[in-house]
Structure 1
Amino acid sequence: MSETISQKPSLTIRRRIAAPPAKVYAAWIEPEKLARWWGPAGCEMIDATIDARTGGTFRIRFKEAGPEGEIHDVSGTYDAVEPDAKLSFSWQWITMPERKSHVTLTFMAEDHGAATILILHHTQFFDEAARDGHQEGWSSALDKLEVCCTSE
């Protein structure tokens, strides 16, 4: 019996960021802005290529802290791009192509556009351990995103 998408583990994180949707959205699609926050605490982005359009692709490499820090490499293809409102893309670790999943980001204005409600919905995880690891990683990364978007 094959497992359907709806049966695979998923996660949803909702975050309020005291910055306009355009600023939060830009932090996801502009490599120089992405470099300021990408990855869990202690990680640093090495490089990124981003073609944020429907059918466009991205590839991001980042390194864990320390001289022996592991390098992570993730890529995907955008299936929906709505400036300042939505990004939807596949999510695939280069070293584990069989574990492809999917991310949808929704950017909603709050406080007359002065703040953003960001909803990150990551679906189709290989298993619960993968979901739990991403829950921790995304939560930490979104902490960094919030600081990046509110400290300028």
Structure 2
Amino acid sequence: MKPATLTAELDVRSGGRYRISFVSDDGEYFEAGGTYREVVPNELLVFTWAWHSTPERESLVTISFKPDSAGTLMIFHHAQFFDEAARDNHRRGWSSFLDKLDAFVA
């Protein structure tokens, strides 16, 4: 089974909120959300990230977009994790997502 987004509610503006839900490869349901702290079209997204199951463990995602000769360079940074296990789990999840995104846009 491939991961599928079940819902995505996005209010992409500074102060706006988002909530997404999806099912993992092994069938586990996940839901996350947060608040956009900074939105600069075609340049920058900064938003908080927290799983629905652990809303007190909020972290911060920063995504920068820069022109590149081949198209657009995306610089992804996720920080302020609750602990090393959370960091490592997010690294695996984001790596899988970004690999799929890379294959999709290739």
* Aligned residue number for residue 124 of structure 1: 80
* Aligned residue number for residue 20 of structure 1: none
Tell me the distance in 1 between the aligned counterparts of 2:72 and 2:101: 12
* One of 49, 52, 55 as aligned partner of 1:97: 55
* Aligned residue number for residue 53 of structure 1: 13
1:97 partner SS: coil
Letter in 2 for 1:134: H
- The runs of at least 4 consecutive aligned structure 1 residues that moved more than 6 Å come to none
1:96 partner SS: coil
* Aligned residue number for residue 141 of structure 1: 97
Tell me the distance in 2 between the aligned counterparts of 1:137 and 1:119: 16
Q: Which has the larger radius of gyration?
A: 1
Tell me the distance in 1 between the aligned counterparts of 2:2 and 2:84: 24
2:98 partner SS: helix
Tell me the distance in 1 between the aligned counterparts of 2:104 and 2:7: 18
Structure 1 stretches of 5 or more lacking a match? 1-40
* Aligned residue number for residue 3 of structure 2: 43
Deviation at 1:148, TM superposition (A): 2.2
Q: Which has the higher contact order (CA 8 A, sep 6+)?
A: 1
Q: TM-score, normalised by structure 2?
A: 0.93
Structure 2 stretches of 5 or more lacking a match? none
Letter in 2 for 1:117: L
* Aligned residue number for residue 73 of structure 1: 31
Tell me the distance in 2 between the aligned counterparts of 1:98 and 1:140: 25
Give the root-mean-square deviation of aligned CA atoms.
1.4
Question: How many residue pairs are counted as aligned between the two chains?
Answer: 106
Deviation at 1:42, TM superposition (A): 3.3
Structure with the higher helix share, 1 or 2 = 1
Q: TM-score, normalised by structure 1?
A: 0.66
Structure with the higher strand share, 1 or 2 = 2
